[in-house]
RNA sequence: GCCACCGUAGCUCAGUCGGUAGAGCACGUCAUUCGUAAUGACGGGGUCGUCGGUUCGAGUCCGACCGGUGGCUCCA
C-alpha cells in the first residue's frame, strides 16, 4: 500500500486521505454539508470534477454554487445535456463544440434542417428529462486511436481529434447515452441542472470560419438558483426595453430608412439636440485641453489610403471608387491621412510638440450588411477623432493626459470603465521589435497609474499597440469607449518630421485617439445607459409646463417664457385633461413637469414633478425652480 | 457576405381554409375647461416591402430581390 495523499485547503489545513481519494473525499472529510454542496474543485489551479483522483500532494479548493467557476462548470454540463436531448430528438445530429460562455452556454449542431422554435421547446423538455434521470458524468482518458474509434461517426469530432498529438491526454465524458470529446470538468450528475432556459438558435460557421459549413447553434443559460435565472431573464427584458432602436423611435430621436440606405442615420430634432449638446461639451473640453479643431473633406483621392496602407488592409471596408479624369476618389474611411497632411503643410520645431488636431470627422465605411445594427454599427458615422503629434520622449506624458481626460469625460456621463492593452497582431507591418517595445512602454504607463488592466493579445492595430477603454453601462454591459493607438509607422510613410534641438530632422510619433468613439455609437449607447431618461443637461426637452385649465394658461405661458429666457428648454402643453398630459410627459421621459393651476397662479408658485422622484410633487417658488434647473444643468447632474 | 426568422396605417399589432383590410395608440374636427399616469363622439389615413409567378380570385401559396431582427464573420 502506498503512502497517504495530502490535500492542502485554502486556509492551510492539510487533510490526509487514502491513495486514490478524490476531491469529493476531501469534501466528505470536511463535512457532509460541503460534500452535498460541492459541484467541482480546483486542484493545483486546475478546475476538475469531484470524482477525479487527486495527486499525492495538492492544493484543493472546493467549488459550490456560490463560486463563479462553478457556474461555468454547470453551464458546460448544460451544453452536454442539451446535446443529449438534441440527439434523442434527432439521432443523426452532428455535434460541434458546446462551451460555457459569459451569460450561459451554446452547442453547435450539424443538422439537415435549421431548428424551429417548437424544436427548442422540445429540447428544453428533453433536457429536463435528462436532468431527472440523474445521469452521472463519467470521465475517461483514451488514446487518440481509441477516441477516433469512439467518434468514428462524428466527422466534426474527428476533425478536432486530428489536431491532437499522439502523446496528448484526451478525455471523453459520458452521461447516459451521450458521449463527447471534452476537456471537462463537469458537475457530478445531470441532476445538478435545475434552472435553465434555451434562448435562441442561430447559424454559426464551423470553427468560426466563413469558408466552412454553417452549423446550427443553440444558445441557452443556466443557474444554480431559480432567483438568479429569473433575474437574468428580467435583465434581458430590461435590455429589450432600453434598446436604443426602440427608444429612438419612441422618443423620436433618429431613424434609419430603407429609402435613404442601410446603415445611414437620420437625426431627428430631439436626437440632434442631444448630439449638439454632447458635441458642444466635447469641443469646449478639447479646447481646454490643448486641442486644435480642424475640418477635412468627406471625399479624398485614394492615393492617401495607398500611402497609409488602409487601401490594402481594409479594401473590403471602403465605399467604391468615384473616378474623376483618371483620379480615383473614395469616401473617407478615417481622418488620419488628412490630419497628417495638415501637419505636413509646414515645418515643425520640437518646441511645437505636442500638436493635437481634433475633428468630429464624418467617415464612411462599407460595413457588411449583416453587421449593421441600429446606431451602433453604421456605414456613415462621425468620429470624435484626434491625432496627436509628439516626440518619442513624450509618449508617457501624453498617454497620462489622455487617461485623465477620458476619466473626466466618462464620469460626466456616469460610466464606469476598465482598461485594456492590445498587443501586436499577425497583420502588423513594420519592425516587430519597435512594436513590442512601444507596447511595453504603454504597459508601464498603465502600471504606474496603478490601473488594473487586461491584455488583449494580438488585438492591436496593424501600425501600433493601443490602450482601450471599455465602459460599463447602467445594465452592467460593456461597450467600446476610447481607444488610444500609438503609431510610429504612418508618420514615416507620410514623411512627418520635426526639427530637433540638434537642428536635425526627426520622425514624429502619432497617437490616434478617440475618447467617445463615434457620435452614433456613443449616443446610441447613452440612450440605453439612461434608458431614454436623459439627465437634465442633455434632455432635448427639459421642462414641460401644464396649466390645469384655461384660467391659468396665461400664467403658464409666462413661466415658459421666463424659463426660455433663463436658457431652459421648456414647452407648454395645454391640450387635453391634466391626467392625460401628465401621462404623456412621463412616458416621454421629460425630466420636469411644472403644473400651474389657480392655486399656483395666485402665489407665483409652480407645482413641480420630477421624473422618477420619490415625492410626487413639490410646490416651489418659480424663481427657485429656475435656479434649481440652472444649477442642475451647470453641474451636469446625473440625478 | 453566410444561416434562420420577420416585413399589414405614423407607432404597436390582429387578419381563420385563398374570396377583395381591421384594432389600440398617434393625428384632425367637435363637445368638455378639467388639480396629478389615458374625457367622450366623429373623422381622415393602406399599391399589405418590391417585382414576378400559380389561381376565376393572393395580405394569405411559390420564386427572386430589397430591408430589418438574432447569431456567425468582420471591426482601421
Give the residue numbers of A marked as catalytic: 336, 365, 383, 385, 387, 466, 512
Average pLDDT over residues A74-91: 94
Is A239 near strand B, with its CB below 7 A from some atom of it?
Answer: no
**Residue A78 scores a pLDDT above 60:** yes
Segments in A17-106 forming alpha helices (H): 23-30, 32-37, 68-89
Asked if A324 contacts A440 with a C-beta cutoff of 8 angstroms, the reply is: no
Q: Strand runs (DSSP E) across A207-324, as ranges?
A: 214-223, 254-255, 266-267, 292-293, 299-301, 322-324
Neighbours of A192 (CB within 10 A): 22
pLDDT value for A131? 95
Q: Is the dihedral of CA A243, A247, A253, A255 positive or negative?
A: positive
**Cα dist. A346→A277, A340, A496, A498, A501 in Å?**
34, 11, 10, 10, 17
Cα-to-chain-centroid distance, residue A569: 33
CA of A203, C1' of B70: distance in angstroms: 9
Greatest CA separation for chain A: 100
| Nearest residue to A547 (alpha-carbon basis) of A558, A537, A536, A539 | A558
CA of A121, C1' of B47: distance in angstroms: 39
Set of cell numbers at residue A182: 471534452
Is A578 near strand B, with its CB below 7 A from some atom of it?
Answer: yes
Beta bridge mates, A545: A572, A594
pLDDT value for A630? 97
Instruction: Report the C-alpha gap between A9 and A547 in whole angstroms.
Output: 70
Average pLDDT over residues A386-391: 96
Place of cell 390645469: A548
pTM of the model: 0.92
Instruction: Report the C-alpha gap between A561 and A566 in whole angstroms.
Output: 9
CA of A610, C1' of B3: distance in angstroms: 48
User: Could you say which residues 300-319 of protein chain A have a Cβ atom less than 7 A away from any atom in strand B?
Assistant: 310, 313-314, 316-318
With cut-offs at 50, 70 and 90, classify the pLDDT of residue A428: confident
User: Could you say which residues 323-382 of protein chain A have a Cβ atom less than 7 A away from any atom in strand B?
Assistant: 333-334, 336, 365, 367-374, 377
Is A242 near strand B, with its CB below 7 A from some atom of it?
Answer: no
Strand B positions closer than 7 A to protein CB: 1-5, 7, 11-12, 26, 31, 33-39, 66-76
Set of cell numbers at residue A72: 461555468
With cut-offs at 50, 70 and 90, classify the pLDDT of residue A541: very high
| Nearest residue to A427 (alpha-carbon basis) of A319, A310, A305 | A310
CA of A91, C1' of B12: distance in angstroms: 42
A548: nt with nearest C1' to CA: B35
Instruction: Report the C-alpha gap between A556 and A567 in whole angstroms.
Output: 17
CA of A250, C1' of B32: distance in angstroms: 29
Average pLDDT, chain A: 92
Q: Is the dihedral of CA A121, A126, A129, A134 positive or negative?
A: negative
**Residue A1 scores a pLDDT above 60:** no
Instruction: Report the C-alpha gap between A191 and A184 in whole angstroms.
Output: 17
Is A607 near strand B, with its CB below 7 A from some atom of it?
Answer: yes
Q: Which strands, in side-by-side order, build the sheet including A543-547?
A: A570-572, A543-547, A592-596, A605-610, A618-621
Instruction: Report the C-alpha gap between A551 and A597 in whole angstroms.
Output: 8
Instruction: Report the C-alpha gap between A408 and A469 in whole angstroms.
Output: 13
A585: nt with nearest C1' to CA: B37
Instruction: Report the C-alpha gap between A160 and A140 in whole angstroms.
Output: 18
List domains and CATH numbers for chain A.
5-64 (3.10.20.30), 72-232 (3.30.980.10), 255-530 (3.30.930.10), 543-635 (3.40.50.800)
Instruction: Report the C-alpha gap between A307 and A494 in whole angstroms.
Output: 7
pLDDT value for A107? 95
Question: Which range among A127-131, A428-432, A562-566 shows the weakest confidence by mean pLDDT?
Answer: A428-432
pLDDT value for A331? 94
**Residue A3 scores a pLDDT above 80:** no
CA of A308, C1' of B24: distance in angstroms: 56
Query: In this structure, what are the phi and psi dihedrals at residue A278, rounded to the nearest 5 degrees?
Result: -65, -45
Digit-coded pLDDT (tens) for A116-144: 878 888 899 999 999 999 999 999 999 99
A574: nt with nearest C1' to CA: B33
| Nearest residue to A291 (alpha-carbon basis) of A358, A389, A341 | A358
Is A256 near strand B, with its CB below 7 A from some atom of it?
Answer: yes
User: Could you say which residues 70-129 of protein chain A have a Cβ atom less than 7 A away from any atom in strand B?
Assistant: 114
pLDDT value for A2? 65
pLDDT value for A117? 78
Asked if A329 contacts A318 with a C-beta cutoff of 8 angstroms, the reply is: no
Average pLDDT over residues A371-395: 95
3-class DSSP assignment, residue A80 = helix
CA of A595, C1' of B41: distance in angstroms: 28
Segments in A346-423 forming alpha helices (H): 395-413
| Nearest residue to A526 (alpha-carbon basis) of A372, A376, A360, A632 | A376
CA of A259, C1' of B47: distance in angstroms: 17
Instruction: Report the C-alpha gap between A406 and A385 in whole angstroms.
Output: 13
Digit-coded pLDDT (tens) for A10-53: 888 888 888 888 999 999 989 888 888 899 999 998 899 999 88
Instruction: Report the C-alpha gap between A367 and A616 in whole angstroms.
Output: 47
CA of A9, C1' of B75: distance in angstroms: 45
Is A509 near strand B, with its CB below 7 A from some atom of it?
Answer: no
Segments in A220-300 forming alpha helices (H): 226-242, 244-250, 269-288
Instruction: Report the C-alpha gap between A126 and A170 in whole angstroms.
Output: 29
Q: Please list, in sequence order, all residues whose beta carbon lies within 8 angstroms of the beta carbon of residue A408, skipping any fewer than 6 positions away.
A: A285
A215: nt with nearest C1' to CA: B3
Set of cell numbers at residue A321: 471608387
Is A241 near strand B, with its CB below 7 A from some atom of it?
Answer: no
Average pLDDT over residues A139-155: 90
With cut-offs at 50, 70 and 90, classify the pLDDT of residue A526: very high
DSSP class per residue in A505-521 = EEE-EEEEEEEEEEHHH
**Residue A115 scores a pLDDT above 70:** yes
Is A524 near strand B, with its CB below 7 A from some atom of it?
Answer: no
Is A598 near strand B, with its CB below 7 A from some atom of it?
Answer: yes
User: Could you say which residues 459-498 of protein chain A have a Cβ atom less than 7 A away from any atom in strand B?
Assistant: 461-462, 485
Amino acid at each position: 500500500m502506498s503512502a497517504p495523499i495530502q490535500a492542502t485547503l485554502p486556509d492551510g489545513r492539510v487533510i490526509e486521505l487514502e491513495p486514490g481519494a478524490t476531491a469529493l473525499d476531501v469534501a466528505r472529510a470536511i463535512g457532509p454539508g460541503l460534500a452535498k454542496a460541492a459541484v467541482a474543485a480546483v486542484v493545483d489551479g486546475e478546475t476538475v470534477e469531484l470524482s477525479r483522483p487527486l495527486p499525492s500532494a495538492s492544493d484543493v479548493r472546493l467549488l459550490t454554487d456560490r463560486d463563479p467557476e462553478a457556474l461555468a462548470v454547470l453551464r458546460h454540463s448544460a451544453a452536454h445535456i442539451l446535446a443529449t436531448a438534441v440527439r434523442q430528438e434527432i439521432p443523426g445530429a452532428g455535434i460541434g463544440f458546446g462551451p460555457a460562455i459569459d451569460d450561459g452556454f451554446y452547442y453547435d449542431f450539424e443538422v439537415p434542417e435549421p431548428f424551429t422554435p417548437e424544436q427548442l421547446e422540445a429540447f428544453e423538455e428533453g433536457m429536463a428529462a435528462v436532468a431527472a434521470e440523474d445521469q452521472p458524468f463519467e470521465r475517461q482518458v483514451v488514446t487518440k486511436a481509441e477516441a477516433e474509434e469512439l467518434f468514428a461517426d462524428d466527422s466534426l469530432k474527428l476533425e478536432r481529434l486530428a489536431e491532437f498529438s499522439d502523446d496528448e491526454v484526451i478525455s471523453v465524458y459520458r452521461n447516459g447515452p451521450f458521449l463527447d470529446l471534452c476537456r471537462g470538468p463537469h458537475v457530478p450528475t445531470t441532476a445538478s441542472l435545475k434552472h435553465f432556459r434555451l434562448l435562441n438558435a442561430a447559424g454559426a460557421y464551423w470553427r468560426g470560419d466563413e469558408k466552412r459549413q454553417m452549423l446550427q447553434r443553440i444558445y441557452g443559460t443556466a443557474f444554480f438558483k431559480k432567483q438568479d435565472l429569473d433575474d437574468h431573464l428580467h435583465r434581458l427584458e430590461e435590455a429589450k426595453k432600453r434598446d436604443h432602436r426602440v427608444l429612438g423611435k419612441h422618443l423620436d430621436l433618429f431613424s434609419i430608412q430603407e429609402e435613404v440606405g442601410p446603415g445611414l442615420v437620420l437625426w431627428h430634432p430631439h436626437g440632434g439636440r442631444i448630439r449638439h449638446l454632447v458635441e458642444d461639451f466635447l469641443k469646449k473640453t478639447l479646447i481646454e485641453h490643448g486641442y486644435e479643431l480642424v475640418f477635412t473633406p468627406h471625399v479624398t483621392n485614394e492615393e492617401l489610403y495607398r500611402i497609409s496602407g488602409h487601401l490594402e488592409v481594409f479594401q473590403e471596408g471602403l465605399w467604391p471608387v468615384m473616378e474623376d479624369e483618371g483620379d480615383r476618389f473614395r469616401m473617407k474611411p478615417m481622418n488620419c491621412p488628412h490630419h497628417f497632411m495638415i501637419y505636413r503643410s509646414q515645418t515643425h520645431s520640437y518646441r511645437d510638440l505636442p500638436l493635437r488636431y481634433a475633428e468630429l470627422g464624418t467617415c464612411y465605411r462599407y460595413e457588411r450588411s449583416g453587421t449593421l445594427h441600429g446606431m451602433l454599427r453604421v456605414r456613415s458615422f462621425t468620429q470624435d477623432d484626434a491625432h496627436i503629434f509628439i516626440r518619442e520622449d513624450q509618449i508617457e506624458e501624453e498617454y497620462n493626459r489622455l487617461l485623465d481626460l477620458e476619466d473626466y469625460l466618462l464620469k460626466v456621463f456616469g460610466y464606469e470603465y476598465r482598461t485594456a492593452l492590445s498587443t501586436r497582431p499577425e497583420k502588423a507591418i513594420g519592425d516587430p521589435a519597435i512594436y513590442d517595445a512601444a507596447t511595453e512602454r504603454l504597459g508601464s504607463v498603465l502600471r504606474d497609474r496603478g490601473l488594473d488592466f487586461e491584455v488583449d493579445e494580438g488585438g492591436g492595430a496593424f501600425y501600433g499597440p493601443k490602450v482601450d477603454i471599455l465602459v460599463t453601462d447602467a445594465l452592467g454591459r460593456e461597450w467600446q469607449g476610447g481607444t488610444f493607438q500609438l503609431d510610429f509607422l504612418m508618420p514615416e510613410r507620410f514623411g512627418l518630421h520635426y526639427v530637433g534641438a540638434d537642428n536635425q530632422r526627426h520622425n514624429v510619433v502619432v497617437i490616434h485617439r478617440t475618447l467617445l468613439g463615434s457620435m452614433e455609437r456613443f449616443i446610441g449607447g447613452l440612450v440605453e445607459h439612461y434608458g431614454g431618461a436623459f439627465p437634465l443637461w442633455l434632455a432635448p426637452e427639459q421642462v414641460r409646463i401644464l396649466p390645469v385649465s384655461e384660467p391659468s394658461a396665461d400664467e403658464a405661458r409666462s413661466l415658459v417664457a421666463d424659463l426660455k429666457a433663463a436658457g431652459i428648454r421648456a414647452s407648454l402643453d395645454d391640450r387635453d385633461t391634466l391626467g392625460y398630459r401628465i401621462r404623456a410627459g412621463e412616458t416621454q421621459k421629460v425630466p420636469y413637469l411644472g403644473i400651474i393651476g389657480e392655486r399656483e397662479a395666485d402665489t407665483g408658485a409652480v407645482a413641480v414633478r420630477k421624473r422618477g422622484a420619490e415625492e410626487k410633487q413639490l410646490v416651489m417658488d418659480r424663481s427657485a425652480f429656475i435656479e434649481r434647473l440652472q444649477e442642475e444643468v451647470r453641474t451636469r447632474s446625473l440625478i
